[in-house]
Structure 1
Amino acid sequence: MKNRNIYWLYLYLIAGIIDLALTAQGDMNMRIYSKPLIIIPLAIYFHQISKNLSGTILRKTMVGALLFSWMGDVLLLFPQLFLYGLGAFLMAHICYVISFKLSQTKPFEIGQVNFIRLFLYNLPIYLPAVIVYYLVNPNLGEMKIPVIIYMLVILTMVTTARERFKKTNPASFWQVFVGALFFMISDGILALNMFFKSFPESGVLVMGTYLLAQLLIVMGIRAHYVD
Structure 2
Amino acid sequence: MEGHGWEARRRYISDTQQTRRLVPFFAYCTLYFLLWLPVDKPSWNSALAKCLPILSLALFVHNHAPSGSYGRFIWVGLLCSALGDIFLTWPNLVPFGMAAFVLAHLFYIGALGWSPIRQALLESVVVVFLLYFGLLQPHLPSNLSFPVLVYVAILGLMLWRALARERSAALGGLFFSISHAILAWDTFVRPLPLGHLISTVTYYAAQALLALSTVEGESPTVS
Identify whether the pair has TM-score above 0.5, normalized to the shorter chain: yes
Q: Secondary structure at the match of 2:28?
A: helix
Note the C-alpha offset of 1:176.
0.7
The answer to whether structure 1 residue 131 and structure 2 residue 143 are counterparts is: no
Q: Which residue of 2 aligns with 1:157?
A: 158
The answer to whether structure 1 residue 185 and structure 2 residue 185 are counterparts is: no
The answer to whether structure 1 residue 91 and structure 2 residue 103 are counterparts is: yes
Q: Which residue of 2 aligns with 1:42?
A: 57
Q: Cα deviation per residue 1:105-130 (whole Å; 9 max; x = unaligned)?
A: xx4x8xxx7xxx82x43444334423
The answer to whether structure 1 residue 148 and structure 2 residue 146 are counterparts is: no
Note the C-alpha offset of 1:24.
9.1
Q: Amino acid of the residue matched to residue 133 of structure 2?
A: Y
Q: Give the distance between the partners of 2:19 and 2:61, measured in 1 at CA.
A: 10
RMSD across aligned positions (CA) = 2.6
Q: Give the distance between the partners of 1:178 and 1:5, measured in 2 at CA.
A: 17
TM-score (norm 2): 0.80
- C-alpha contact (below 8 Å) 2:87/2:97 kept by paired residues: yes
Task: Give the unaligned 5+ runs of structure 2.
Answer: 1-13
Note the C-alpha offset of 1:98.
0.9
Q: Amino acid of the residue matched to residue 83 of structure 1?
A: P
Q: Which residue of 1 aligns with 2:72?
A: 60
Task: Give the unaligned 5+ runs of structure 1.
Answer: 165-172
Q: Which residue of 2 aligns with 1:167?
A: none
Q: Which residue of 2 aligns with 1:210?
A: 203
- C-alpha contact (below 8 Å) 2:80/2:103 kept by paired residues: yes
**Alpha carbons of structure 1 residues 161 and 4: separation in structure 2 relative to 1, 3 Å:** closer
Q: Give the distance between the partners of 2:199 and 2:20, measured in 1 at CA.
A: 25
Q: Which segment drifts farther, 133-142 or 13-22?
A: 13-22
Q: Give the distance between the partners of 1:77 and 1:24, measured in 2 at CA.
A: 10
Q: Give the distance between the partners of 1:200 and 1:92, measured in 2 at CA.
A: 28
Q: Secondary structure at the match of 2:191?
A: coil
Q: Give the distance between the partners of 1:18 and 1:195, measured in 2 at CA.
A: 28
Between Structure 1 and Structure 2, how many residues are aligned? 202
Aligned-residue identity in percent: 24
The answer to whether structure 1 residue 18 and structure 2 residue 18 are counterparts is: no
Q: Give the distance between the partners of 1:123 and 1:203, measured in 2 at CA.
A: 29
- C-alpha contact (below 8 Å) 1:22/1:28 kept by paired residues: no
**Alpha carbons of structure 1 residues 19 and 124: separation in structure 2 relative to 1, 3 Å:** farther
Q: Secondary structure at the match of 2:143?
A: helix
